[in-house]
Structure 1
């Protein structure tokens, strides 16, 4: 594994852990040349369904794109990188479990909102406002009320 800091090819694995879901392995590595440490993740490469956009275009699923959009919603929010990774893994599990060769972007967006709602209510509202193209304040208020109702149901259940 090439060191991301100095580019040296010799690195040593100093720690290995399975993810909570058991579908990836986290490895801490140390570079023999610069002594810096970094983390890598090892996952089985599984073909995920294509994403069908609202205009009918089809694109390959891109983990980095999903993570980027979720990180924008989570900017300056108290959510750990591990929690974000867990949410992305849950979304990818849904994609695999669908068994479909294609998934509508609207369905993917709903799964993202469901995971963001679990992680952080503010991030959920941020994402929903862009995803659902809120036009006025009343739509924000409705989304905020929706998160309050979900929290109430969760506390009662």
Structure 2
């Protein structure tokens, strides 16, 4: 760690403490050249992957856009704000934990569909009809049948 006073690269850690929240580490350091003391903080940085769109362009992940997509599908549906927040959190965690630097926008669409399927079947059908670009009624029927099959217990 460089000394912020003299730019010397040789510093010594005098004390290390974990923050009360447990999300950062505070270190007291001393420069071995000018002997001045300073404090540094270490925090985990988990970057979201860059989104690669269908046309090949790249953009940063936008949680506001994710929320607006979910809310549009859930419009006038009986789903709580807490449930939506939970879905967004799960999607963000899956993206972070993927370890990927770039992710296809289609993968995000699939994650959104999976969460909507858990939250509300009607919202799932709404989103799927746009996301999958349904061309005719049979594609709607297939999606509805797929959702209907999940509800029925398997016969033994």
SS of residue in 2 equivalent to 1:103? strand
Unaligned segments of structure 1, at least 5 residues = 1-43
What are the ranges of 5 or more consecutive residues in structure 2 without an aligned counterpart?
1-43
User: What is the TM-score when the length of structure 2 is the normalising length?
Assistant: 0.68
Residue 145 in structure 1 maps to residue 140 in structure 2 = no
Q: Deviations over 1:72-94 (max 9, x none)?
A: 00000000000000000000011
Cα deviation, residue 45, structure 1: 6.7
Q: Determine the structure 2 residue equivalent to 1:14.
A: none
TM-score when normalising by structure 1: 0.68
Offset at residue 118 of structure 1 (A): 0.1
User: Which has the higher mean CA deviation after the structures are superposed, 44-53 or 69-78?
Assistant: 44-53
Deviations 1:43-92 (A, max 9, x none): x8732001111111111000000000110000000000000000000000
Rg larger in structure: 2
Aligned length: 113
> 1:119-130, aligned counterparts within 5 Å?
119-130=119-130
Work out the CA distance in 1 between the residues paired with 2:111 and 2:63: 14
The CA deviation at 1:148 is 1.1
**2:40 maps to which residue?**
none
SS at the partner of 2:94? helix
